[in-house]
Amino acid sequence: MQGKLHFIMLLGLVHLISSVTPTRADIKFSEHPTPPSFIVILTDDQSWVGSSLRMDPNDARSQSDFFHTPQMERMAALGMCFKYGYAPAPFCCPSRRSLLSGQSPARHVYQKHQPGWCREFNTQLTIPRMLKDADHAYETAHFGKWDFRFDAPSPEDMGYDHSDGITGNATGGAKGTGGPSARNDPKRMFEITDKAINFMKTSVSAKRPFYLQVSHYAVHLDIFYRETTLAHTRNRILGSKHTSPPFAAMTEDLDHAVGKLLDAVEKLRPTAGPIYLFFMSDNGGREAIPTEANPRQKPRNHPLRDGKGSMYEGGIRVPFIVLGPGIAPGSHCNIPVTGLDILPTLAALSGYRKPLPKNIDGGSLTGVLKHGNRGRVDRYEPFLFFHQAVTRKPQTALIEYPYKLVKTWDKNLVELFNLHSDPGETFNLAFDASKQAQEMHARMIAFLEKTDAETLKTMDKVSLKEMFQ
């Protein structure tokens, strides 16, 4: 009965949004009577399979077999869920810089002259700067984890009006701070949610459009949760890949905080004008957590390969959901998208009139938000690109769906996968499809050279043929 009531309430909510905001596929996103407002919810270290939402509606493996996250399911029911949603990088800091600027980490964090480029990064176009240029009325805020490291620019340095300042993992309870244990406000998730809600209310009251990024500290280690939530997860049958009740409790508390923000958006919507909400994680989930006392039968990111820190799918593919006017509720899209696309999308939706700089690597999602799989994303380069080096394991990936090329520099290894038929990246097709591999490898090297990215210098000019010998 309770499940049926929840379903009826959900249908009612979908109907309410549909009645307030048009969902016709031919709507012109940039012609709202009032400037739209935007919200980005960024979770930390959340796996593609880190919720009860089925990321691929045709694959039961694409959801957790232990966590219950009804609010994340609710978000997907209200908007568009992307099967191939990607973080800009498999680590926190480069993803956060890239989301703000629309630029690949190859241009800044993993650039050959990293210190100099990080200083130059502070002068680049950012989401808040772009929106204020589109309309000076925009009010902008960032609450939660900042984690820019290196030269440590503040949110205000990058264009934000309001923020929590230069925060990092330790602010929310990082590794070594006492977890797993219970807290009234685990990972400060309700504190930053309340700040976000108050900011939205103030902006709407002042009749100002807003941009809000809520960057959660969860589900990064250490593990903190509410005792009442842990009581529920402890009494649940364990999954085959997710077996930690404390981690499940933290995930479900995060879900509750997300729902609280969604409730506030619904209350503000009649007077706020159009609101678009983007939900994603900064990178893939960890492969292991220290509190897993119960044995697992499958990897934590199954069916994806590897996890955080890796260029395989488990490290970069993440939950990615968008909702707002003109986006069909409960829709799914199979076109690969990335956090780099958020800045160009907001530029298109806000009516930004200037051409975007050539060093913006993302593209506007308005075509796919309107038309789903019939739409397209136009980027300066027709592929998704991922790279890390310097203080990380040098590894590069390039996606031209359905193909993905992964280069692991210290092993002289190039691998080609078909993501459509082989989501677990089990079969290396580089030998069988050598022409495809060579062409993608050439584009990979050309982009690295264009951005002056760091790799392993002795291997920059190694040919694909030599690598296969």
Residues 164 and 258 in one domain: yes
Q: For residue 130, give its domain range.
A: 34-374
- CA angle (213 as vertex; 207, 219 as ends), nearest 5: 145
318 inside domain: yes
Percent of the chain past pLDDT 70, that is, above it, reads 90
Environment class of 226 (CB within 10 Å of its CB; exposed 0-12, middle 13-18, buried 19+): buried
CA 300 to chain centre: 18
Residues 397 and 369 in one domain: no
Residues 95 and 234 in one domain: yes
pLDDT digits (tens, 9 = 90+) for 131-169: 999 999 999 999 999 999 988 999 999 999 999 999 999
Q: pLDDT tier at 469 (50, 70, 90 boundaries)?
A: very low
CA 12 to chain centre: 28
Q: Which residues pair with 317 in a beta bridge?
A: 86
User: CA 65 → CA 62, 223, 236, 279, distances in Å?
Assistant: 9, 19, 11, 21
Residues 226 and 356 in one domain: yes
Examine the pLDDT at 464 and tell me if it is beyond 80: no
Q: pLDDT tier at 457 (50, 70, 90 boundaries)?
A: low
Residues 361 and 402 in one domain: no
Q: Token match 């509720």: residue?
A: 329
Examine the pLDDT at 16 and tell me if it is beyond 80: no
Percent of the chain past pLDDT 90, that is, above it, reads 84
**What is the enclosing helix (H) or strand (E) of 431?**
none
pLDDT digits (tens, 9 = 90+) for 96-137: 999 999 999 999 999 999 888 888 999 999 999 999 999 999
Residues 111 and 63 in one domain: yes
For residue 258, the domain's CATH number is: 3.40.720.10
In three-state secondary structure terms, 212 is strand
Q: Which of 346, 374, 402 is the last residue of a domain?
A: 374
Neighbours of 356 (CB within 10 A): 18
Mean per-residue pLDDT of the chain: 90
Residues 326 and 462 in one domain: no
Q: Which of 340, 374, 408 is the last residue of a domain?
A: 374
Count of domains observed in the chain: 2
Residues 315 and 458 in one domain: no
pLDDT digits (tens, 9 = 90+) for 41-67: 999 999 999 999 999 999 999 999 999
Length of the chain, please? 469
142 inside domain: yes
Examine the pLDDT at 36 and tell me if it is beyond 60: yes
What distance in Å separates the CA atoms of residue 329 and residue 368, rounded to the nearest whole number? Answer: 14
pLDDT digits (tens, 9 = 90+) for 425-452: 999 999 999 999 999 999 999 999 999 9
Examine the pLDDT at 458 and tell me if it is beyond 90: no
**Average pLDDT of the segment spanning 225-254:** 97
pLDDT digits (tens, 9 = 90+) for 67-91: 999 999 999 999 999 999 999 999 9
234 vs 177, higher pLDDT: 234
Query: What's the pLDDT at 32?
Result: 53
Q: pLDDT tier at 23 (50, 70, 90 boundaries)?
A: very low
What distance in Å separates the CA atoms of residue 219 and residue 247, rounded to the nearest whole number? Answer: 8
Query: What's the pLDDT at 460?
Result: 41
Q: Token match 């706020």: residue?
A: 272
Residues 418 and 348 in one domain: no
Encoded tokens for 424: 């677990």
Across 118-122, 157-161, 211-215, 461-465, least confident range:
461-465
Residues 319 and 413 in one domain: no
11 inside domain: no
Across 132-141, 145-154, 311-320, 399-408, least confident range:
145-154
- Residue 350 in contact with residue 36, Cβ under 8 Å? yes
Strands 210-215 and 337-338: unpaired
12 inside domain: no
Question: Which of 420, 442, 417 has the alpha carbon at shortest distance from 430?
Answer: 417
Q: Which of 319, 345, 374 is the last residue of a domain?
A: 374
Question: Which of 47, 70, 88 has the alpha carbon at shortest distance from 219?
Answer: 47
Query: What's the pLDDT at 446?
Result: 97
307 inside domain: yes
DSSP character string of 109-144: TTBTTHHHHHHHHTTS--HHHHHHHH-TT-EEEEEE
pLDDT digits (tens, 9 = 90+) for 251-302: 999 999 999 999 999 999 999 999 999 999 999 999 999 877 778 999 999 9
Examine the pLDDT at 461 and tell me if it is beyond 50: no
For residue 443, the domain's CATH number is: 3.30.1120.10
Strands 395-400 and 384-388: antiparallel
Encoded tokens for 270: 């009649």
219 inside domain: yes
23 inside domain: no
pLDDT digits (tens, 9 = 90+) for 384-397: 999 999 889 999 99
Residues 198 and 251 in one domain: yes
10 inside domain: no
Residues 195 and 296 in one domain: yes
Question: Which of 237, 252, 224, 243 has the alpha carbon at shortest distance from 71?
Answer: 252
Largest CA distance in the chain: 66
Examine the pLDDT at 8 and tell me if it is beyond 50: no
